[in-house]
Amino acid sequence: MAKKEFNNIEFSDDYFVNFINGLKTKNLEEINHIDFDDSIILVCFYNDFENFAKKWMNHYLSIGIKNFVLIDNNSTDNSTILLKNYKDEVNISFWKINEMDNCYRMCGWKQLIFEFYGYNRKYLTVDSDELFIYKDYKEILLEDFIKREKVSIIKTMMLDVYSNKNIYDSTLEDFNYVDKNTYKITTSSSYGKRFIGGPKLRVLGINSSLQKISFINYTGKEVFA
């Protein structure tokens, strides 16, 4: 189920039931089909992110992403309309699913997307509020970075950004601040390196893990959980 590089975690019954329910969904629908080339396929489920969509798309274009699988999960705003503005610039396959979001169930949905496009492909899986960055990302495209580093997976740390204003008075450009000294790295047999801290712990007292596998060269033997 997992190679040594992955998080080797024993899943609870409740988690696994939700994951299986995600795999069983009949509501994941492809809107338009695209035959992608062999470069990285970005996969993202989104909901009402029209305020961030342009910045988000331009970031991923800037690191060389050409293939997008964008899945509308119950959006009520103009997210899809904004994203369609890019369909002549890059390859975008639009999908939709009208089910309530559940992070465990969504892992099953992502697995279905991987299975649909197939194995021996490279996937970058990000959320609609995430900008994936890596060393020298302004100078080197992601494909070239992966070749340079000779990696088949990339484990990432999720870094929270925030404004110095009241959140309701802030614009997107105000979110330029990060914690300097509150992030920590621990190790365990389950997680390997485990990132914790930041404003979630400092302000909210939530000691959640802040890592994920964002990039994978999918062989067909991995489970996205």
- Of 6, 2, 3, 53, nearest to 154 by C-alpha is 6
- Of 218, 191, 186, nearest to 201 by C-alpha is 186
User: What's the one-letter identity of residue 110?
Assistant: K
CA distance 158 to 17: 26
What pLDDT is stored for residue 9 in this prediction?
62
> Cβ(132)–Cβ(212) under 8 Å?
no
What pLDDT is stored for residue 15 in this prediction?
86
What pLDDT is stored for residue 118 in this prediction?
96
What pLDDT is stored for residue 7 in this prediction?
56
Q: DSSP labels for the chain?
A: ---TTS---PPPHHHHHHHHHHHT-S--EESS-----SS-EEEEEESS-HHHHHHHHHHHHHTT--EEEEEE-S--SSHHHHHHTTTTTSEEEEEE--S---HHHHHHHHHHHHHHH-SSEEEEE--TT-----TTTTTS-HHHHHHHHT-SEEEEE----B-SS-GGG--GGG--B--SS--EEEEETTTEEEEE-HHHHHTT------EEEEEEEE-S-----
How many angstroms separate the Cα of 109 from the Cα of each of 54, 87, 118, 171? 25, 23, 14, 32
What pLDDT is stored for residue 103 in this prediction?
87
- Of 139, 128, 119, nearest to 62 by C-alpha is 139
> How crowded is residue 129: how many other Cβ atoms within 10 Å of its Cβ?
11
- Of 108, 121, 63, 73, nearest to 94 by C-alpha is 73
Domain residue ranges of the chain, discontinuous segments joined by +:
13-154+214-218, 159-209
pLDDT tens for the 225 residues of the chain, in order: 445 555 556 677 888 899 999 999 999 999 999 999 999 999 999 999 999 999 999 999 999 999 999 999 999 999 999 999 999 999 999 999 999 988 889 999 999 999 999 999 999 999 999 999 999 999 999 999 999 999 999 999 999 999 999 988 888 889 999 999 999 998 877 667 889 999 999 999 998 889 889 999 999 988 887
User: What's the one-letter identity of residue 5?
Assistant: E
What pLDDT is stored for residue 98 in this prediction?
95
